[in-house]
Chains A and B, each alone.
Chain A
Amino acid sequence: MNTPSGPSQENPRRDAANWAQPVQKLQVQGMPAEAPNLVDGRRLVGPLQGFGKMWQKTYRVRLEDASVTPPALIETWKANFSSLWPRGNRFYTPLTGIAPGEVALISLAAGPMKLSTGVMVLYADAESFTLMTPQGHMFAGWITFSAFDAPKEGASQEGEGAEAACCVAQVQVLMRAQDPLSEIGLALGGHKAEDRFWSSTLRALAARFDSEAEPEIQIACVDPRRRWTEAKNVWHNAGIRSGLYVAGAPLRWLRRSGKRDDAG
């Protein structure tokens, strides 16, 4: 176990093209004018940078009756990502689609208000893709969407070939609330809302393959400690920023009108 070794550099990595390039701050490009952009200039934050308890939430749907391969399922999922979300929520897909390094904007229905945030595609290959959150998102973390073959329920391990296997679609969220306000929000219904969100998405995905399978949920607390040094993240809170953005709409309208008048 203790043989001296250094990094191996000889071969180009097979996974290199699947990962986003390092970025200091996010830059949003090619989005429609109506997409509220509160993401430009933000840093990415992973599950280690947040404030609250760290959770791993796994949502799975088994497509027992559908004949689809994991790559075909992921292709469909990427191509229809936005339309599979529950009504009232919007994912502004980048022009080049879900590809490593691309930034997408998000508008989420949160009760009576809209929450504006975004994500960067951290990783994408033929059988999975991962989104990473920016500062201000309700939680700091990664969401990995994947598909894989698994034995059908009741099928013997010895197998009857492809007929004994079915495709499973999975959403796995590794997250912690970004700040104390988000932690309270998650505890007071945010977690349940998220569970409903991804269950609904998986149901919609299954329906694309004529399946009425019900999603399963597994939740594990990976780290029960809160990181009080990150309480300052509240400065970037998307809920507060979205509220300010909406409140500032008349001012932005007046400013644009003034510019038009000056030009005329």
Chain B
Amino acid sequence: MPVIDLTGEVNSAAEASLNAAFTEATRNSPGTVLLNFAPVTYMNSTGIALVVALLAQARKARMQLLVCGLSEHYRHIFNITRLADFMNIHEDEASAITAATAPAAES
């Protein structure tokens, strides 16, 4: 499963690199892509909009987008923006990978 580590600031300046990373990660049409937010130090509303755009792209390509490494603060943001309704959130990469490779157990 490809993992995209989001590092530093997620704002409008991150758009090109995030889209490039997503294109690279989905080159071989994986069923699932993981976004790791643990290294994120700052995110504004434009950053959240970038995540929504990735989610829309993933849904269009019938891929699942997982999220891990959210601090409590970013979990709040995912709740208030209601992104949490659409994305499976995991504590860390290990638990996300376990969940993704054991779909029968989850469903």
Interface residues of A (CB under 8 A from B): 1-9, 11, 13-16, 18-23, 44-49, 54, 56, 122-123, 125, 128, 130, 132, 142, 144, 146, 148, 172, 174, 222-225
Interface residue total, chain B, C-beta cutoff 8 A: 43
Enumerate 22 A-B pairs (CB-CB under 8 Å) in ascending A order: A1-B4, A5-B36, A5-B69, A6-B38, A7-B37, A7-B70, A7-B71, A8-B38, A8-B69, A9-B71, A11-B41, A14-B41, A19-B80, A21-B80, A48-B55, A48-B85, A48-B86, A122-B45, A125-B44, A128-B44, A142-B48, A222-B52
Interfacial chain A residues near B2, Cβ < 8 Å: 1
Contact B79 A22 (CB under 8 A): yes
Q: Mark B43-79, 1 if CB is under 8 A from A, else 0.
A: 1111011001101110110000000011111101101
Interfacial chain B residues near A225, Cβ < 8 Å: 59-60
> How far is B52's CA from A231's CA once the two chains are assembled, in angstroms?
21
Contact B45 A130 (CB under 8 A): yes
Interfacial chain B residues near A56, Cβ < 8 Å: 49, 53
Contact B69 A128 (CB under 8 A): no
Interface residues of B (CB under 8 A from A): 2-5, 12, 36-39, 41-46, 48-49, 52-53, 55-57, 59-60, 69-74, 76-77, 79-83, 85-86, 91-94
Interfacial chain A residues near B41, Cβ < 8 Å: 11, 13-14
* A19-B77, A19-B80 as given contacts; A223 in contact with B71, CB under 8 Å: no
Interfacial chain B residues near A5, Cβ < 8 Å: 5, 36, 38-39, 69, 92-93
